Amino acid sequence: MLLHKNLKIKVTPRESGTKYFVLVGASVGKDWDFEKLPQRLRVSSDIVFGYRTKYAFDKSDEINALVSMPVPVTGVIIKECAAYFPKDIGESQKLINDWVKILSSHSVTPILATVAPVTKEHDVKHPGRFASLLAFNDFIRDYASREGLLVLDLEKSLRIGDTDRHLRNEHAQPDGLHLVKKAYREALDGIVLPVIKETANKFK
């Protein structure tokens, strides 16, 4: 039995069909209503989504808790928030590498998410944040490519374009960092299913 907040769902072991995906993050996952995504996308009932909140860059506690769960987890999406930047890129890389190793060693598929960008106005008010998160996102894509990992590219779906990677104003709350509800529904909901299906197919 999987208990997620007030949501109670019966699941069977992964080998029998049920696929359990968990997003580990902060405000993005919470405001996204990630656990309700299967209903919005009308995916089959054998795919279950969960969310674990961690308001810090270091997600080690949550990663370790997930691989220790009695319910087998199919995939874990690791999502960082722009609020944690600027950040030392070397430290960030080590943590990501450690988490990937932990998940993989427990037969859980790691899925790396890029960080949602910030608006131009936010960039001016918080020097260094935007450049640092872009460097992190570039690392995520390069690292995933080298290691054969899947990427949930939030930045690509939310940014103005390839040459201007700032967050679109229509996706942003007044602080220029957090997202409006419309951004989740119109920009992010649709990019999840292809990644999830690719992961789920490995366990058919």
Length of the chain: 204
Other CB atoms within a 10 A radius of the CB of residue 7 amount to 12
User: Do 20 and 14 meet the contact criterion of CB atoms below 8 Å apart?
Assistant: yes
5-14, 66-75, 77-86, 166-175, range with the lowest pLDDT: 5-14
pLDDT digit string, tens, across residues 25-64: 987 667 888 888 888 888 877 888 999 989 999 999 999 9
Q: How many CB atoms lie within 10 A of CB 104?
A: 14
Domain segments of the chain as ranges:
2-203
CB burial of residue 194 (10 Å; 0-12, 13-18, 19+):
exposed
Residue with tokens 């359990």: 20
Evaluate whether 9 touches 48 at the Cβ level (below 8 Å): yes
State whether CATH 3.40.50.1820 applies to domain 2-203: no
- pTM of the full predicted structure? 0.89
Pairwise CA distance, residues 172 & 28, whole Å: 12
